[in-house]
């Protein structure tokens, strides 16, 4: 690899991918009818992995660019999209049977099928820094650096990134494989900055039931549901005038790595847990209501005190409290290690929206100042990305921004 030009390498990877496509070798079909068999189209007006009903697993990757050439950036985005289209169809990114050369596809997803894999790309604010790629005039106004929040404990190594890649699948190994091979294809133009695997999705669709987070509460009951077209149009898809034309049909993704302190949470009573969220633990219903999808009544009171406490998570996060604004949440749990004598756990909070300046930022300011959940959580990682619209077969995500760079050469 060393000694090859970046362009040559990306070209070789793309050519290898194309040759596998042509001869159909190393196709990775799963047993017909199994979960692994189900595929989600990569191409379309919007990127997949946003209103796609949440899959069981995520593997998130943030890359940082080590090139400063606009043409390299365009080539890289095209290479990543072409690979993502193949992966989403359950195909390897390149040949595995390579003899003395390292296999182009690393092979661990062979035979597992597409498993509803989606790969969603976003571009971080630094991509638009003046003097870097000549893109500063194209920077979307909603793509602001997130401001500091009152309760932040951010670790720089867990923050930021130039290209955010959300790989979700029903199979953890399929999601891992996508990230593994995209890192290899991105080198040497970009290198991994941070990455995290997660499970136990936030619900974003009417289909199925609501999973629970690692505090044992149902998560996603009050979410924007993918089937609610009016809410998705109003709160998720970017469009002019606040977004430039190249982002039309895209969206903005905010990612927060939030540590969940099981040591303190597990020692408080059920009543206090329910007061913290403002919902009942078992049913998921708002406090005082019977059913999970009963409306939040923020005016209700008992003995002169609000039924849903003043500082309950759902009150402070609710549209009623935030000028009518909502988010499409698509978070996942993560776990590992030991944290203050308890199991190490957290949430990779991922949300999509039309304008973070009116959605995530003000909502998070409210939560950071008073949310009772803040006593048991700590925000340690943070990133924001502009996710361009989807692309047609043969096109690539980001071509509305840098497509011209490729055509010029
Ligand atoms: C570890 C961190 C977090 C946990 C465990 C958590 C958990 C929950 C739970 C259990 C609910 C109620 C059920 C539901 O509607 O999903 C909820 C609602 C919600 N959360 Fe969180 N959350 C976390 C962080 C955040 C953050 C950082 C934000 C945004 C800044 C946020 C925004 C919301 C919103 C908008 C709702 C819906 C409120 C409504 O009913 O209108 N959450 N969350």
Relative to the CA of 320, which ligand 1 atom is closest?
41
- Cα 186 to chain centroid distance, Å, stands at 19
Q: Indicate the average pLDDT of the chain.
A: 92
Which tops the pLDDT comparison, 80 or 15?
80
Q: 95-139 pLDDT, tens per residue? A: 999 999 999 999 999 999 999 999 999 999 999 999 999 999 999
CA–CA distance, 98 with 106 (Å, rounded to integer): 11
Predicted local confidence at residue 405, as pLDDT: 83
Please state the rounded mean pLDDT for residues 57-81: 97
246 lines ligand 1 (CB under 6 A): no
Tell me which residue has its CA closest to atom 10 in ligand 1: 219
Q: Answer yes or no: are the C-beta atoms of 224 and 357 closer than 8 Å.
A: no
296 ligand 1 Cβ < 6 A:
yes
User: With a 6 A CB cut-off, is 91 part of the ligand 1 pocket?
Assistant: no
What pLDDT, on a 0 to 100 scale, did the predictor assign at position 261? 98
Tell me what pLDDT residue 34 has.
61
Distance (Å, rounded) from C-alpha 43 to C-alpha 34?
A: 23
Angstrom distance (rounded) from CA 117 to CA 166? 10
Residue nearest ligand 1's atom 24 by CA: 349
User: Which mutation among 211, 218, 329 tests ligand 1's pocket best, with the greatest number of atoms within 8 A of CB?
Assistant: 329
By percentage, how much of the chain surpasses pLDDT 90?
89
Rounded to 5 degrees, what are φ and ψ at 159?
Answer: -120, 160
396 in contact with ligand 1, CB cutoff 6 A: no
Half-sphere exposure for 94 (CA within 13 Å, toward CB) = 21
Cis peptide before 241 (omega within 30 of 0): yes
Place of tokens 């898809």: 237
Residues of the chain with pLDDT > 70, as a percent, come to 91
Find out whether the beta carbon of 332 lies less than 6 Å from any atom of ligand 1.
no
> What confidence tens digit (pLDDT) does each residue in 1-58 have?
333 434 434 444 444 443 333 333 333 334 445 667 899 999 999 999 999 999 999 9
C-alpha Rg value of the chain to the nearest Å: 22
- 360 CA: nearest ligand 1 atom: 30
- How far is Cα 363 from Cα 395, in angstroms, rounded to an integer? 36
Q: What's the pTM?
A: 0.93
The residue whose CB lies within 8 Å of the most ligand 1 atoms, and thus the one to mutate among 201, 219, 295, 383, is 219
Q: Is 58 in a helix, a strand, or coil?
A: strand
Label residue 387 left, alpha or beta by phi (over 0 means left) and psi (-120 to 50 means alpha): beta
287 lines ligand 1 (CB under 6 A): no
CB of 377 sitting under 6 A from ligand 1: yes
**Using omega within 30 degrees of 0 as the cis cutoff, is the peptide bond preceding 188 cis?**
yes
Is ligand 1 within 6 A of the CB of residue 327?
yes
Shortest-distance Cα residue to atom 34 of ligand 1: 317
């Amino acid at each position: 690899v060393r000694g090859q030009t970046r362009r040559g390498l990306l070209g070789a990877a793309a050519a290898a991918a194309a040759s596998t496509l042509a001869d159909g070798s190393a196709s990775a079909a799963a047993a017909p009818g199994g979960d692994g068999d189900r595929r989600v189209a990569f191409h379309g007006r919007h990127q997949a992995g946003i209103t796609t009903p949440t899959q069981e697993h995520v593997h998130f990757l943030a890359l940082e660019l080590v090139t400063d050439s606009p043409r390299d950036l365009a080539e890289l985005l095209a290479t990543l999209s072409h690979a993502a289209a193949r992966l989403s169809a359950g195909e390897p990114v390149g040949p595995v049977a390579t003899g003395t050369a390292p296999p182009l596809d690393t092979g661990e997803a062979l035979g597992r099928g597409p498993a509803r894999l989606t790969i969603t790309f976003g571009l971080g604010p630094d991509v638009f820094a003046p003097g870097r790629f000549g893109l500063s005039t194209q920077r979307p106004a909603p793509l602001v650096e997130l401001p500091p929040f009152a309760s932040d404990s951010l670790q720089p190594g867990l923050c930021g990134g130039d290209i955010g890649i959300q790989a979700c699948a029903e199979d953890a190994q399929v999601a891992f494989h996508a990230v593994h091979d995209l890192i290899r294809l991105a080198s040497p133009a970009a290198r991994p900055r941070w990455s995290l695997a997660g499970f136990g999705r936030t619900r974003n669709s009417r289909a199925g039931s609501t999973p629970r987070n690692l505090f044992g509460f149902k998560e996603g009951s009050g979410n924007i549901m993918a089937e609610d077209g009016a809410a998705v149009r109003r709160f998720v898809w970017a469009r002019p005038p606040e977004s430039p034309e190249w982002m039309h049909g895209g969206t903005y993704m905010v990612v927060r790595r939030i540590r969940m302190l099981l040591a303190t949470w597990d020692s408080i009573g059920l009543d206090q847990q329910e007061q913290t969220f403002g919902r009942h633990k078992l049913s998921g219903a708002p406090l005082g209501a019977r059913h999970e999808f009963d409306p939040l009544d923020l005016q209700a009171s008992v003995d002169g005190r609000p039924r849903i406490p003043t500082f309950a998570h759902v009150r402070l996060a609710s549209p009623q409290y935030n000028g009518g604004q909502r988010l499409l949440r698509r978070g996942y749990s993560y776990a590992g290690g030991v944290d203050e004598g308890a199991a190490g756990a957290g949430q990779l909070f991922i949300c999509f929206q039309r304008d973070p300046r009116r959605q995530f930022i003000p909502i998070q300011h409210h939560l950071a100042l008073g949310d009772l959940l803040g006593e048991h959580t700590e925000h340690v990682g943070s990133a924001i990305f502009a996710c361009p619209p989807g692309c047609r077969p043969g096109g690539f995500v980001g071509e509305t921004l840098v497509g011209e760079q490729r055509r010029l050469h």
